[in-house]
Structure 1
Amino acid sequence: MLVWLSRCLPGFSIIALTAMLIFAFSDLLKSALWKSLFPPSEGTPWEGPWKGLGIAQSVFVVYNIFVHTQMFAFTLRLGWSFTNMIKQTRHAIQRRPSDVPIAPIDHRDSVDTDYSLWSSSDISVAKPVTVAQGKFRTPELVHAIILPNYCEDLHTLETTLRVLASHPRAKTQYEIYLAMEQKEENSIIKATQLVSTFGKYFLAIQPTFHPSGVQGEIAGKSSNVAFAARKIVEAHRLALRSESCNVMVTVMDADTHLSRDYFTEIRRLHYHNITEADHSIYCCPIIFDRNSNESPILVRCADLLWSFAGLSTMYPYTVIAIPTSVYSLPLSLAEKVGGWDSDPTAIGEDLHMLLKCYFETAGHLVSRVVYIPASQCNVSSDNGRGWRRNVDTCVARYCQALRHMWGALDSGFTARRTIGYLRFHQRCLFLRPRHFALLHLLWEAHFMPCHLTILMLFSVIYTLWTPAASLHPTLAWAFSFTNTLRTLSFVGMNISLILYERWHAICLNSRVQDMHEANISDTGFSHRVWYRPQHLFERLCFPISGTLYGAVPTIHAVFSHFWTDRLVYRVSKKPTFVLEELGL
């Protein structure tokens, strides 16, 4: 019962908000039947501007102002994050060693392999999984990179691996784990082709095949990652037992392109904060700079807001940063907390793993920001042309948004773990300031979008239908003040978009240069020019897109949780890029 109640917390909050609005403003309260059942009170017991307001109306005023204030605070925090991100990203790129060239990739080079001898349970490669020795005084990190995929286009995976293979230290420090689904048709053939093509470019490359039908597990990214992580632990069992393991696990999406600077920055942060390295997790922002110019404006704005949500937690001196799609953590930490979960509550695998590490370390987890973004693709579609393709892309983006918002199950997970600390630990985790900060971020992610939308729609409709003279002075002031906050938030978001243009140019120019040196020209490059109509319209359309792909799927997800916690995982279609000239 506790599990069901906790997982439905966001849904119950919407019901409570709706009930508050009914109690505060519905004409039902003025009916004779209602007055006979519940005699009216004398109003609130306090005086001053609150005199004459009912309790429900007073609560509405306070909560409405609170939610709008948080919306405005989000834009301030986002602007601060962008200002710092621009500076730190430049510094991180400038720290790149100038004497280490990028390895050019020959796309046609491959090795014949007899995949008929392979087993779907575990496929080993010729290269042993060993810890690389570098030229530095400190031992080099081995990066175990998990690439979860299910029914992904082969070209998407090949391009992602080509980008990783172009990194100078890929052959000595990168272990690639292709986290695949056993039930996918031709998965072994796909894995064979990838291993034969890219085997010589990495320290090791190994496919893992998550078996289908495991009780208590769901098909999707979380279960694929969990299965692959168990293989990584087995490969490094001796080092883990001797406490000499120097492996960093990185989880990324199948279409993610990571710069070599991402791994260099992790090494720097790891050794610069070595005393906290065993309980640190590394997060980076995501940037949609591959096919955004070809995407419908609503999809483009939705992905911008999704990127902004994670980036807004990466401001200077942040208490805790939230990973989005891409993150890294030491293998020793992953093994200590029991690896990745693969039950239905872990569908938001990135945030869920952060929460799991947070609670298993008794709140001592340190989240560090890597100021090198992960390049991502917008959802695409190959059905039809023109408006039909745009409609199909918008529908596909809604399915992706529903999967993202299904991660509201993590609020229930956090509630259960917090109650566990209240019951069984003498020193209450709940009373720590950083725990309140974590709860606030979860509220902002899983509660605020739908609450804000409901309150905004109600405020606009109620003030239009109600004469200003009949409004209580405090209500009139609250409506006016929240309207001002909405205006300021709109201005703040537009300022953030201006800062985003600058940061986007820095990141894209660096990636274009890297791809040119690596002879990879089919990754897609979406340059932004602020005065183009498609980019100017984003400044007007983001509130609409935020509602369609934020509030609506959140409401859809949290009310679905009343009867199920399982979601059929659907893979989003990624674009295929043609060879193009790089504009340097």
Structure 2
Amino acid sequence: MLGWLSRCLPGFSIIALILMLVLAFSDVLNSPQWRSLLPPSPKKSPSNSIRAELSAPQQVFVFYVVFVHIHMFAFTVRLAWSIFRVTKETRAAIQRRVWQTPEASPTLDHGEFLDSSPCSSSQSLPDPSIVKINGITVQEICDPELIHAIILPNYGEDLHTLETTLRVLASHPRAHSQYEVYLAMEQKEDAAADKAARLVSAFEKSFLRVRTTFHPSGIPGEIAGKSSNVAFAARRIVQIHRTELQTESCNVMVTVMDADTHLSRDYFTEIRRLHYLHITEGDRSIYCCPIIFDRNSHESPILVRCADLLWGVFLATVSGRESWGWDSDPTAIGEDMHMLLKCYFETAGNVISRVVYIPASQCNVSSDRGRGWRRTLDTCSARYRQALRHMWGALDSGFAARRTVGYLRFHQRCLFLRPRHFALLHLLWEAHFMPSHLTILMVFSVIYTLWTPVTTMHPALAWAFSFTNLLRTLGFLGMNVCLVLYERWHTLCLNSRMQDMREANLSDTGCAQRVWYQPQYLLDRICFPIAGTIFGAVPTLHAVFSHFWTDRLVYRVSKKPNFSLEALGVV
């Protein structure tokens, strides 16, 4: 019973919000506008006078609607600052890469040339993390190397998508010596064994190791999908490196990526730099990076493009070893968020999240069904299914509630009263509660102010509606500022990625430039609220009310595009 109540917390919050609106504005049915829509009543209240004072539900409404809108505006300001900072940090991370040439060898802090160091070779490119560039302090040249265990989960993914992702990884200078690739397959997929064999045969010489794992079907409490595949592969990694773990000599970093994710070599270099910069905290660090849809967004329907643009601040994660791997049950469909929560509770709130400012390149959902409006509708439908899967992660709020109660019950230290825990609760509210609450309050406010004359409202209500309308306008303008800043970051990241793709002779990875003055991108500036509602608030409502009777969602892979081989260029 407790599990059911906790998993339905977001749904109960929406019911409570609607109940508050009904109690606060039940007298609206006596207004002339509503009476004209209802059958005649023998007893009508002729009074339209302003209430002498607000009722308790109306006081709660005024406080909450103002609170949510202030938070919405503050989020916009925070987002603008974050994009500005991410752009600055991404540029700095990219500039850490140094191309060593015979004409100009970079020097170390002590004045010696890099190619004279016993730890380097003049025949190879220097590691971006072992020199000092533009005043940025980085790691020493003789730090031991990390082995990157890269989990590539896939269930029903297209073979071409997996091949392209592996070709991008194989183009990294350190792939052959430091990348262990684990193809996390689903046993119940008919073509899994054949697909795995073809990939291993094609790429076994490109990486340090390529291994396959097959998540068995029929395990009680586990579902088919990404989280189960990742969990099974992670347990396999622990088995392979058990000896190093027991002797505390393990130097392996686990990275989880989607089947269509393209990671820059600078991404792994940044993880190495951060790891050795904070070496004493390495066993409780989790790394995340922003994502960017820079491969086929120019071909996507505008609502899909806007939805993914808003979603683009989501994080990709790396596991800390204390959490004992990913969960495989239906409540773990949140994947990245769920893993962060699990690490948080398993480390008693001492997990450290570090940002890698090299973004992961992603594809927008696509459809291969014909052209024109039919393809647009099919793509939007596929994006909604993807959004529902994302919002199904609202189950994580219940998971966090159960773990919090359990921690308070069995531990002497009160985790709940720590500032970090309040920050965690705020994050969950922002992810699983605020989108649907804000949408309901906005729709109600617009309808109520259209049907109710201001002269009949209590002054506090009139002020609340006026103030929140101002905040919505400022928020809209603020999001346009965010989009302007986003254009700069998008261009920076795309140019860097395409330069790497040209040098690796990979021409079929996709390239979606954003030219701000083109009509399709100007429309982004006004269509994002619609996209946020259709692919944010609506699937959230769909998910949280579905949780009243089930926590299971059939995992369906979103269709990704196949890029034709063509010459790609950047400005």
Question: What is the TM-score with the length of structure 1 in the denominator?
Answer: 0.87
Q: Which amino acid letter does the alignment assign opposite residue 83 of structure 1?
A: F
1:281-304 C-alpha deviation (Å, 9 max, x unpaired):
000000000000000000001101
Q: CA deviation at 1:262?
A: 0.2
The answer for the alignment partner of 1:61 in structure 2 is 62
Matched, 1:201 2:202: no
Where 1:201 maps in the other structure, the secondary structure is: coil
Contact 1:178 1:208 in 2 (8 A): yes
Where 2:204 maps in the other structure, the secondary structure is: helix
Matched, 1:548 2:534: yes
Q: How does 1:248-263 map to 2 (within 5 A)?
A: 248-263=253-268
The answer for the alignment partner of 1:153 in structure 2 is 158
Q: Distance in 2 between matches of 1:290 and 1:5?
A: 42
Contact 1:6 1:412 in 2 (8 A): yes
Q: CA deviation at 1:136?
A: 4.8
Q: Which amino acid letter does the alignment assign opposite residue 10 of structure 1?
A: P
1:61-85 C-alpha deviation (Å, 9 max, x unpaired):
0000011011101111111101111
Q: Which amino acid letter does the alignment assign opposite residue 579 of structure 1?
A: L
The answer for the alignment partner of 2:47 in structure 1 is none
The answer for the alignment partner of 1:98 in structure 2 is 99
Where 1:537 maps in the other structure, the secondary structure is: helix
Q: CA deviation at 1:50?
A: 11
Q: Distance in 2 between matches of 1:76 and 1:256?
A: 29
Contact 1:23 1:29 in 2 (8 A): no
Q: CA deviation at 1:29?
A: 8.6
Contact 1:50 1:474 in 2 (8 A): no
Q: Which amino acid letter does the alignment assign opposite residue 68 of structure 1?
A: H
Q: Distance in 2 between matches of 1:571 and 1:90?
A: 33
Q: How does 1:324-335 map to 2 (within 5 A)?
A: 324=315, 326-329=316-319, 333-334=320-321
Q: CA deviation at 1:434?
A: 1.3
The answer for the alignment partner of 1:138 in structure 2 is 143
Where 1:283 maps in the other structure, the secondary structure is: strand
Q: Distance in 2 between matches of 1:136 and 1:174?
A: 20
Q: How does 1:492-507 map to 2 (within 5 A)?
A: 492-507=478-493
Matched, 1:20 2:25: no
The answer for the alignment partner of 2:419 in structure 1 is 433
Q: Distance in 2 between matches of 1:390 and 1:403?
A: 20
Matched, 1:86 2:99: no
Q: Distance in 2 between matches of 1:77 and 1:433?
A: 19
1:481-513 C-alpha deviation (Å, 9 max, x unpaired):
000110111011000000000000000000010
Q: CA deviation at 1:580?
A: 1.4
Where structure 2 has 5 or more consecutive residues not aligned to the other structure, the ranges are 32-49, 102-139
Q: CA deviation at 1:337?
A: 1.9
Q: How does 1:341-380 map to 2 (within 5 A)?
A: 341-380=327-366
The answer for the alignment partner of 1:460 in structure 2 is 446
Where 2:565 maps in the other structure, the secondary structure is: coil
The answer for the alignment partner of 1:212 in structure 2 is 217
Q: Which amino acid letter does the alignment assign opposite residue 464 of structure 1?
A: L
Q: How does 1:561-576 map to 2 (within 5 A)?
A: 561-576=547-562
Q: CA deviation at 1:275?
A: 1.4
Contact 1:144 1:250 in 2 (8 A): yes
Q: CA deviation at 1:564?
A: 0.4
Q: Distance in 2 between matches of 1:13 and 1:393?
A: 31
Runs (4+) of structure 1 moved beyond 6 Å?
A: 28-31
Give the alignment partner of residue 391 of structure 1, picking from 365, 370, 377: 377
Q: Distance in 2 between matches of 1:8 and 1:29?
A: 31
1:517-564 C-alpha deviation (Å, 9 max, x unpaired):
000000000000000000000010000000000000000000000000
Give the alignment partner of residue 532 of structure 1, picking from 514, 518, 522: 518
Where 2:172 maps in the other structure, the secondary structure is: coil
Q: How does 1:393-412 map to 2 (within 5 A)?
A: 393-412=379-398
Where 1:137 maps in the other structure, the secondary structure is: coil
Q: CA deviation at 1:187?
A: 1.1
Where 2:554 maps in the other structure, the secondary structure is: coil
Contact 1:178 1:205 in 2 (8 A): yes
Matched, 1:226 2:216: no
Contact 1:159 1:523 in 2 (8 A): yes
Give the alignment partner of residue 508 of structure 2, picking from 483, 504, 522: 522
Distance of aligned partners of 1:358 and 1:214 in 2 relative to their CA distance in 1, 3 Å threshold: same
Q: Distance in 1 between matches of 2:399 and 2:177?
A: 39
Structure 1 vs Structure 2 CA RMSD: 1.7
Q: Distance in 1 between matches of 2:544 and 2:5?
A: 12
Contact 2:87 2:489 in 1 (8 A): yes
Distance of aligned partners of 1:494 and 1:28 in 2 relative to their CA distance in 1, 3 Å threshold: closer
Q: CA deviation at 1:424?
A: 1.9
Q: Distance in 2 between matches of 1:557 and 1:176?
A: 34
Contact 1:79 1:496 in 2 (8 A): yes
Q: Distance in 1 between matches of 2:245 and 2:281?
A: 17
Matched, 1:297 2:278: no
Q: CA deviation at 1:328?
A: 2.1
Where 1:99 maps in the other structure, the secondary structure is: coil
In terms of mean alpha carbon deviation, does 413-422 or 262-271 score higher?
A: 413-422
Contact 2:51 2:458 in 1 (8 A): no
Q: Which amino acid letter does the alignment assign opposite residue 8 of structure 1?
A: C
The answer for the alignment partner of 1:125 in structure 2 is none
Q: Distance in 2 between matches of 1:302 and 1:424?
A: 42
Q: How does 1:237-252 map to 2 (within 5 A)?
A: 237-252=242-257
Q: Which amino acid letter does the alignment assign opposite residue 280 of structure 1?
A: S
Q: How many residues align?
A: 516
Q: CA deviation at 1:28?
A: 8.3
Q: Which amino acid letter does the alignment assign opposite residue 309 of structure 2?
A: L
Where 2:307 maps in the other structure, the secondary structure is: helix
Q: Distance in 2 between matches of 1:184 and 1:428?
A: 45
Q: Distance in 1 between matches of 2:100 and 2:461?
A: 65
Matched, 1:3 2:17: no
Q: Which amino acid letter does the alignment assign opposite residue 91 of structure 1?
A: A
The answer for the alignment partner of 1:106 in structure 2 is none
Where 1:394 maps in the other structure, the secondary structure is: helix
Where 2:78 maps in the other structure, the secondary structure is: helix
Distance of aligned partners of 1:254 and 1:473 in 2 relative to their CA distance in 1, 3 Å threshold: same
Where structure 1 has 5 or more consecutive residues not aligned to the other structure, the ranges are 32-48, 101-134, 311-323
Where 1:217 maps in the other structure, the secondary structure is: coil
Q: CA deviation at 1:188?
A: 1.0
Distance of aligned partners of 1:231 and 1:136 in 2 relative to their CA distance in 1, 3 Å threshold: farther
Q: Which amino acid letter does the alignment assign opposite residue 297 of structure 2?
A: S
Question: What is the TM-score with the length of structure 2 in the denominator?
Answer: 0.89
Contact 2:295 2:512 in 1 (8 A): yes
Q: Distance in 1 between matches of 2:11 and 2:241?
A: 43
The answer for the alignment partner of 2:435 in structure 1 is 449
The answer for the alignment partner of 1:34 in structure 2 is none
Where 1:176 maps in the other structure, the secondary structure is: strand
The answer for the alignment partner of 1:52 in structure 2 is 53
